């Protein structure tokens, strides 16, 4: 099994120069041998294949004014630094009509900004209303989950490490009475958790939540659902919220604010130095056996981010 691991210092800068002896891997709290470790660090040790970024503009979960702010911010991000992007990047827009985007990743931010205009024009010609006007929270949540599944399946087929920047105010959280589920619903939720967790890990995809808007009672609610889910009885639809997926896939959550450009620029730095380690998972006693993962480094003051768990199969 392979894991991409990002190590940063207190200032958030990627740390280079670590060796296999500096790392410890804990699987369900038990140390497991690291079989291989490869460092990728810029021009000195470039990743092969290269890291790529995917910027996805989620208009399903935005109202009209927020969508305009998001488009403006993404355009500003793409055109910064003369339009030169640190890693090859693709642009996608998720709307009521589906997902539409660029075919090939590029480091030409100016060209991608023009592509975004074309995509935007296509959706406007269809007279679509951003934000799923008239939809309920559960409808938007189900559409968002389907979109994430589709992106993970398609992007995951491509080689190398991927950074998925999901630009959105966030997906609706189910709270109070809305969290009550039947056994059938819990089983369906668990299957979604297992599938998405596996797709992101196997596809080497880290999710980043670029959050727009203002703080409200739901802003930090996702933090209650970061613990691994071992069985359907513990499964909630909130366990596959985009912010939960971000943390569990080794990505990050920033915001909310009304300008995604600084968040995107911050996240793009994670395409620099990182490590890829491999290990042999233990034998599973049954299907969908959840394993908690922790990667530690011996040097103090460093932060490690990677996949936080996986589902093992016999």
User: If we measure between CA atoms, which residue out of 47, 55, 50 comes closest to residue 80?
Assistant: 55
Same domain flag for 85 and 25:
no
Q: Per the domain annotation, does 190 fall within a domain?
A: yes
Q: Per the domain annotation, does 39 fall within a domain?
A: yes
Q: Return left, alpha or beta for 221; rule: phi > 0 is left, psi -120 to 50 is alpha, else beta.
A: alpha
Same domain flag for 221 and 299:
no
Same domain flag for 153 and 64:
yes
Q: Per the domain annotation, does 30 fall within a domain?
A: yes
Beta strand pairing call for 106-108 and 36-40 = unpaired
Determine the structural domain holding residue 242 and report its residue range.
Answer: 52-271
Q: pLDDT at position 175, please?
A: 82
Q: pLDDT at position 97, please?
A: 84
Q: Per the domain annotation, does 280 fall within a domain?
A: no
Look at residue 14 and give its three-state secondary structure. Answer: strand
Q: Per the domain annotation, does 279 fall within a domain?
A: no
Same domain flag for 26 and 106:
no
Same domain flag for 87 and 228:
yes
**Buried-exposed string 197-227: b where 16+ CB fall within 10 A, e elsewhere:** bbbbbebbbbbbbbbbbeeeeebebbeebee
| Residues 6 or more apart whose Cβ sits within 8 Å of residue 139 | 132
Q: Per the domain annotation, does 185 fall within a domain?
A: yes
Same domain flag for 131 and 239:
yes
Q: Which pTM value belongs to this model? A: 0.94
Is-contact 164 214, C-beta < 8 A?
no
Same domain flag for 67 and 40:
no
Same domain flag for 81 and 169:
yes
Q: pLDDT at position 37, please?
A: 97
Structural domains counted in the chain: 2
Q: pLDDT at position 138, please?
A: 86
User: If we measure between CA atoms, which residue out of 157, 145, 81 comes closest to residue 113?
Assistant: 81
Same domain flag for 142 and 234:
yes
Low-confidence ranges of the chain (pLDDT < 50): 125-134
Looking at residue 223, which CATH number applies to its domain? 3.40.50
Q: pLDDT at position 177, please?
A: 55
Q: Per the domain annotation, does 256 fall within a domain?
A: yes
Q: Per the domain annotation, does 276 fall within a domain?
A: no
């Amino acid at each position: 099994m392979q894991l991409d691991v990002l190590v940063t210092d207190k200032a958030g800068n990627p740390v280079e120069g670590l060796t296999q002896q500096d790392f410890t891997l804990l699987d369900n709290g038990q140390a497991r041998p690291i079989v291989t470790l490869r460092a990728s660090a810029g021009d000195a040790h470039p990743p092969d294949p290269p890291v790529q970024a995917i910027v996805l503009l989620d208009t399903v979960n935005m109202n009209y004014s927020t969508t305009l702010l998001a488009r403006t911010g993404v355009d500003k991000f793409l055109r910064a630094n003369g339009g030169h992007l640190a890693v090859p990047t693709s642009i996608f827009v998720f709307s009521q009509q589906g997902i539409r985007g660029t075919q090939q990743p590029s480091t030409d931010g100016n060209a991608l900004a023009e592509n975004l205009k074309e995509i935007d024009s296509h959706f406007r010609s269809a007279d679509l209303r951003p934000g799923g006007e008239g939809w309920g929270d559960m409808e938007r949540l189900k559409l968002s989950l389907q979109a994430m599944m589709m992106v993970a399946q398609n992007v995951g087929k491509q080689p190398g490490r991927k950074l998925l920047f999901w630009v959105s105010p966030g997906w609706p959280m189910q709270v109070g009475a809305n969290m009550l589920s039947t056994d059938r619903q819990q089983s369906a939720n668990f299957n979604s958790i297992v599938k998405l967790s596996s797709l992101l890990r196997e596809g080497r995809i880290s999710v980043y939540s670029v959050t727009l808007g203002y703080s409200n009672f739901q802003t930090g609610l996702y933090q209650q659902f970061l613990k691994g889910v071992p069985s359907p009885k513990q499964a909630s639809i909130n366990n596959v919220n985009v912010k939960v997926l971000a943390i569990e896939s080794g990505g990050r959550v920033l915001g909310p604010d009304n300008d995604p450009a600084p968040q995107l620029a911050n996240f793009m730095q994670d395409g620099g130095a990182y490590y890829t380690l491999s290990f042999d998972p233990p034998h599973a006693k049954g299907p969908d056996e959840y394993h908690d993962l922790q990667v530690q480094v011996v040097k103090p003051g460093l932060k490690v981010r990677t996949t936080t768990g996986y589902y093992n199969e016999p």
